[in-house]
């Protein structure tokens, strides 16, 4: 995650197919006046859409000169007031966005491109290089087998963590994704073919958490983590996924650029983090995705997003491409190439020649392909790791997840092959084992968290506060603008190292015996929550049996409670246990409680459904 970036990038678009077979561009726009919202009508054939009249003749003329396929309000459930009037417009030409802003800024004060390019590059030489079997060295490279030894595999995991993935179409019938992935937002086409972007979500999902230990196909770092999918590579899909119970990490294996710093989506990602959900994004594929390798991509370059770039996990020759272990660069047709490297990168992971689930049968591996390249595949390896971190410790927050990933990464920018990228490959390569182990150590009643052999000089904030028993710091070199805030229940020992941060940096170490793991994980997988999000309007439609949705949390006022089985009784208590709200004998499925006059702080809500099921949740009133 980053502190500040000046984003000035080349503009590019993902051209996708939507209803009526039209080319589709999309953008976010702020529309404070409801009279200026485009309203579509269909012709008798259903193929023509027009715009209803407004009070402004010039505006009508402009909008009617384009084809608008859809206009819907997004981010409805965000607790960020600046997102309450944001709409998504899908149209045939992005010039409409620029003209609305340039000519009618008084009606449309903020606009932002919402198109995206998936960040992967299928190797053009295919899978005809004489392979003899499936190779998943990328999992050994990040120490996946050792990581899995830390899990409660026999009982299906500890905390039933779900990965959210917003991407293009998903083959939910693939043998290694069957009963593992569920599309809950957007209109999915599981049989999409024809372009390399079709079913890109299938590839990405398999990297994050393909069915593992099932005797077929491939393994994935996420092992048993479930996947909720949004069938569109857009920020509103990630936002919707982040509001679903059990989702603790969302993945964006796509990127977008802009001529000016965006003003809408940074707030979206801040809101996702505020919900306690981590955002992981692909950093970009350099020239392979149409930009300079040092450019910044969004959302990866946002401060509330973990940006993932590429590293080679083995010495590998396939066709005209050659990759090298621990090397950020690769050779293609004898020329040096690389994916994104800049000061917004947080971590790197395998992205060259990795195994993915394919969308259809073909090639020597049937439903799989081992010649895919791109940061699209590095990002879900990190997302799968983050899911396991929450599996062993549900209470850590997004900043602590980022801290742990960075404190356990293996530094590689000092190696001879990477020296030209020094300071531009984040904290180093992903070490899934050490990351999950540190998360687990923080949750253990008498665990010891070891911070050792770190060279910290970047202006990054490192936070470890969620109830570690003991922290030991050994052989660390802390300089520059590094900011450390560590808190433990019993003891912090600085055993060796050099700790002299300069202006802007600091080291804050403290002991608090009252620290506790204070969070409520979702119920067991046998009663897994799934809330269906309407693909057109983004409204909540339903929840599964005996489960409910409570949002937004934290809240500044209105608290919404939805349960399809019906609500019977609701009690809210403050942190002392005193009841501050109680209602019973309810006879409906949803309720909105006004908490605007409640004091700021932590509250506990007890909900009894019509079926007699009792659920406890923690609510934060801001």
For the sheet with 368-373, list strands across it: 121-122, 368-373, 352-357
Q: Mean pLDDT, to the nearest integer, of 262-284? A: 92
Q: Which pair of structure tokens corresponds to residue 577?
A: 């246990």
The terminus-to-terminus CA distance of the chain in angstroms comes to: 24
Catalytic residue, candidates 200, 313, 328, 341 = 200
Contact between 400 and 466 under an 8 Å Cβ cutoff? The reply is yes
Q: Any idea what DSSP says for residue 220?
A: -
Same domain flag for 385 and 463: no
Boundary of a domain, candidates 464, 492, 511: 511
- Determine whether 200 is an active site residue: yes
Mean pLDDT score across all residues of the chain:
82
199 or 151: whose pLDDT is higher? 151
Same domain flag for 250 and 365: yes
Same domain flag for 255 and 393: yes
Catalytic residue, candidates 113, 115, 167, 413 = 167
pTM, two decimal places: 0.74
Considering the domain boundaries, does residue 10 fall inside one?
no
Q: How many residues does the chain have?
A: 622
Considering the domain boundaries, does residue 128 fall inside one?
no
pLDDT of residue 577: 77
The span from the CA of 376 to the CA of 391, in Å, is 23
Considering the domain boundaries, does residue 527 fall inside one?
no
Considering the domain boundaries, does residue 463 fall inside one?
yes
- Determine whether 327 is an active site residue: no
H/E stretch holding 99 reads helix 95-103
Same domain flag for 224 and 329: yes
Catalytic residue, candidates 233, 376, 383, 543 = 376
pLDDT of residue 334: 84
Q: Which of 535, 530, 541, 546 is nearest to 227 (CA)?
A: 530
Q: Which pair of structure tokens corresponds to residue 593?
A: 């409680």
User: In whole angstroms, how far apart are CA 382 and each of 156, 270, 351, 425?
Assistant: 20, 19, 11, 15
The pairing of beta strand 321-323 with beta strand 368-373 = unpaired
Looking up residue 597, the CATH number of its domain turns out to be 2.60.40.1930
The model's pLDDT over 280-316, given as tens digits with 9 standing for 90+, comes to 999 988 876 556 888 899 999 999 999 999 999 988 8
**Reduced to 3 states, what is the DSSP secondary structure of residue 201?**
helix
The domain in which residue 359 lies consists of 137-421
Considering the domain boundaries, does residue 280 fall inside one?
yes
The model's pLDDT over 478-515, given as tens digits with 9 standing for 90+, comes to 999 999 999 999 999 999 999 999 989 999 999 998 88
Provide the number of structural domains found in the chain.
4
Cis peptide before 62 (omega within 30 of 0): no
Q: Any idea what DSSP says for residue 393?
A: -
Residues of the chain with pLDDT > 70: what percent? Answer: 82
Beta strands in 489-612 (DSSP E): 491-494, 497-499, 506-511, 531-533, 540-543, 549-551, 558-574, 579-594, 601-609
Same domain flag for 388 and 458: no
- Determine whether 376 is an active site residue: yes
Phi, psi of 455 (to 5 degrees): -110, 105
Q: Does the pLDDT of residue 415 top 70, yes or no?
A: yes
Boundary of a domain, candidates 491, 511, 531: 511
Same domain flag for 387 and 454: no
304 or 116: whose pLDDT is higher? 304
The span from the CA of 426 to the CA of 411, in Å, is 8
Same domain flag for 368 and 408: yes
Q: Does the pLDDT of residue 238 top 90, yes or no?
A: yes
The model's pLDDT over 314-357, given as tens digits with 9 standing for 90+, comes to 888 777 788 899 999 988 888 888 889 999 999 999 998 888 88
Considering the domain boundaries, does residue 491 fall inside one?
yes
């Amino acid at each position: 995650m980053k502190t500040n970036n000046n984003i000035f990038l080349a503009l590019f678009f993902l051209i996708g197919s939507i209803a009526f077979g039209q080319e589709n561009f999309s953008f976010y726009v702020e529309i404070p006046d409801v009279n200026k919202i485009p309203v579509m009508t269909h012709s008798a054939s259903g193929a023509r859409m027009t715009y209803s009249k407004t009070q402004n003749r010039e505006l009508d003329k402009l909008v009617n000169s384009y084809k608008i396929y859809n206009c819907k309000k997004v981010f409805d459930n965000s607790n960020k007031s600046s997102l309450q009037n944001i709409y998504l417009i899908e149209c045939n030409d992005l010039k409409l966005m620029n003209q609305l802003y340039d000519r009618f800024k008084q009606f449309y004060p903020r606009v932002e491109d919402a198109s995206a390019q998936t960040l992967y590059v299928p190797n053009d030489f295919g899978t005809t290089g004489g392979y003899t079997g499936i190779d998943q060295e990328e999992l050994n490279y990040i120490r996946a087998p050792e990581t899995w030894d830390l899990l409660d595999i026999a009982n299906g995991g500890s905390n039933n963590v779900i990965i959210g993935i917003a991407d293009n179409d998903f083959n939910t019938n693939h043998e290694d994704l069957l009963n593992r992935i569920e599309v809950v937002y957007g209109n999915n086409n599981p049989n999409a073919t024809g372009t390399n972007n079709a079913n890109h979500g299938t590839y990405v999902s398999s990297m994050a958490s393909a069915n593992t230990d099932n005797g077929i196909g491939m393994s994935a770092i996420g092992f048993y983590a479930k996947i909720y999918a949004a069938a569109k590579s857009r920020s509103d899909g990630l936002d919707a996924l982040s509001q679903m119970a059990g989702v603790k990490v969302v993945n964006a294996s796509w990127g977008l650029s802009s001529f000016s710093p965006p003003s809408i989506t940074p707030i979206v990602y801040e809101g996702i983090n505020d919900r306690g959900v981590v955002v992981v994004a692909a950093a970009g594929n350099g020239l392979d995705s149409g930009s300079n390798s040092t450019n910044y991509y969004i959302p990866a370059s946002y401060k509330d997003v973990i940006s993932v770039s590429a590293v080679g996990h083995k010495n590998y020759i396939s066709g005209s491409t050659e990759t090298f272990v621990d090397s950020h660069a690769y050779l293609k047709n004898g020329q040096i190439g690389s994916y994104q490297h800049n000061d917004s990168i947080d971590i790197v992971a395998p992205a060259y020649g990795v195994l993915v689930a394919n969308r259809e049968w073909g090639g020597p591996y049937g439903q799989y392909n081992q010649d895919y390249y791109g940061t699209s595949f590095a990002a879900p390896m990190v997302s799968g790791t983050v899911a396991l971190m929450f599996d062993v410790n549900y209470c850590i927050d997004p900043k602590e997840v980022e801290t742990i990933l960075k404190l356990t990464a293996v530094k590689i920018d000092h190696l001879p092959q990477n020296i030209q990228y020094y300071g531009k490959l984040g904290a180093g390569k992903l070490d899934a084992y050490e990351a999950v182990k540190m998360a687990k150590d923080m949750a253990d009643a008498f665990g010891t968290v070891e911070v050792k052999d770190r060279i910290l000089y970047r202006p990054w904030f490192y936070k470890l506060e969620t109830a570690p028993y003991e922290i030991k710091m050994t052989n660390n070199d802390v300089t520059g603008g590094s900011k450390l805030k560590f808190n433990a229940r019993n003891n912090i020992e600085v055993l060796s190292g050099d700790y002299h941060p300069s202006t802007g940096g600091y080291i804050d170490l403290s002991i608090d015996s009252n620290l506790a793991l204070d969070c409520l994980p979702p119920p067991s997988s046998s009663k897994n929550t799934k809330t269906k999000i309407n693909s057109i309007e983004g409204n909540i439609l339903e929840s599964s049996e005996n489960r409910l949705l409570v949002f937004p949390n934290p809240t500044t006022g209105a608290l919404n409670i939805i349960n399809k089985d019906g609500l019977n009784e609701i009690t809210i208590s403050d942190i002392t246990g005193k009841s501050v709200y109680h209602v019973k004998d309810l006879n409906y499925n949803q309720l909105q409680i006004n908490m605007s006059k409640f004091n700021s702080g932590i509250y506990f809500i007890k909900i009894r459904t019509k079926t007699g099921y009792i659920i406890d949740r923690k609510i934060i009133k801001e």
